Structure 1
Amino acid sequence: MSDKKIRSPLSAEEKREAWGEFADREDEYLDEVEQRWGDSGAYAQSAKRVATYGREQWKRINRDNAAIEARIRELMDAGAAPSSEAAMDVAEAQRRHIARWFYDMTHEFHVLKSHLYVEDPRFRAGIETNTRPGAAEWLREAIAANAERAARAQDTAR
């Protein structure tokens, strides 16, 4: 475990409450995260932020994420296309959530990260456990559509 490791001030019990199953494999997962992204600015920024979060911040993070997941499920159940305004809005909400609590998340970075939702079974499970099967692909498409919308808005503003 290196000095760059993401650390939390939570007790083991509080981690289990806030993070669920992740807390049981924290060292394993954080070693992998550090190995894959430890030299990135996003990792450093996330490590710095997470080190300050107590129980109340994690409750809010989890509550806000649950609302995003519920909205994804609602939109999918209603048959909303990933390119619809509502789908792009939920993708934007997720992007802002990550940016607020973990690390700066540009639209381009969000598109890159969305591929992990589909390609990595753990990321897929993280998305689909509280939504429904197919949500990883649906969200990836919504994120791409949202990035295109943001690019068009930026071009229009020029």
Structure 2
Amino acid sequence: MTRREAGSPLSDDDKREVWGGFADREEEYLDEVEHRWGGTEAYADSARRVAGYGRAEWERINRDNAAIEARIRELMAAGADPRGTEAMDVAEASRLHVSRWFYAMDHGFHVAKSELYVQDERYRQGIEENTAPGAAEWLRAAIVANAERARLRERARERG
């Protein structure tokens, strides 16, 4: 299912209220996403999920994301090491947020996606706009550390 087949139950006014500036450039951004990832399972999964999201779901998504951003700001302001437990916990919250609302994201996928945070200026701006300068690198380091923590936990479980 493509996003064009799925559509959105939101009115244009609702989109502007819950998506902010994204709503004004929706077609442009979604064309790019479809071009980059349109043939992937994650894209199809996301298109299926978001097709049914109304205003209440988008408000919840935004609230949950704002809480993650606030935690990143707090940790960075406190000088927290991005490889520390609290930073890894916020990285895990970010991964689970995407998995819950958009598409299944394992740790390897999260690490790969985190490269976009530092390589693509739009991703960087999206992260740092509501957190702090340097948050893209900080979050990428936390995501990498969280993936390693998950790998070590899995190995420990396998050993019994």
Mark yes or no: TM-score above 0.5: yes
- Partner residue of 1:95? 95
Q: Are the counterparts in 1 of residues 3 and 51 from structure 2 also a CA contact under 8 Å?
A: no
For residue 51 of structure 1, report the CA deviation from its aligned partner. Answer: 0.2
> Which of these residues, 2, 5, 12, is aligned with residue 3 of structure 2?
5
**Structure 2 CA distance for aligned equivalents of residues 125 and 64 of structure 1:** 19
Q: Counterpart in 2 of 1:52?
A: 52
Residue 85 of structure 1 is matched in structure 2 by 85
**SS of structure 2 residue aligned to 1:139:** helix
Name stretches of at least 5 consecutive residues in structure 2 with no aligned partner. none
Amino acid at match of 2:90: V
Distance 1:9 1:133 in 2: 35
What are the Cα deviations for residues 97-127 of structure 1, in whole angstroms up to 9, with x where unaligned? 0000000000000000000111111111110
Q: Distance in 1 between matches of 2:117 and 2:77?
A: 19
Work out the CA distance in 2 between the residues paired with 1:4 and 1:47. Answer: 6
Partner of 1:131, secondary structure, is coil
**1:9 Cα deviation after fit:** 1.0
Distance of 2:131 and 2:94 partners within structure 1: 14
How many residues are matched? 156
TM-score (norm 2): 0.96
Structure 1 residue runs of 5 or longer lacking an equivalent are: none
AA matched with 1:129: E
- Alpha-carbon distance in structure 2 between the residues aligned to 1:23 and 1:120: 20
CA contact (8 A) 2:115 2:140 kept: yes
Shift of 1:5: 2.4
User: What whole-Å deviation, never above 9, does each CA across 1:62-99 have from its counterpart, x for those lacking one?
Assistant: 00000000000000000000000000000000000000
Q: Normalised by the size of structure 1, how large is the TM-score? A: 0.97
The percentage of aligned residue pairs carrying the same residue is 67
**Aligned residue identity for 1:4:** T
- Where does residue 153 of structure 2 map in the other structure? 153
Distance 2:57 2:49 in 1: 11
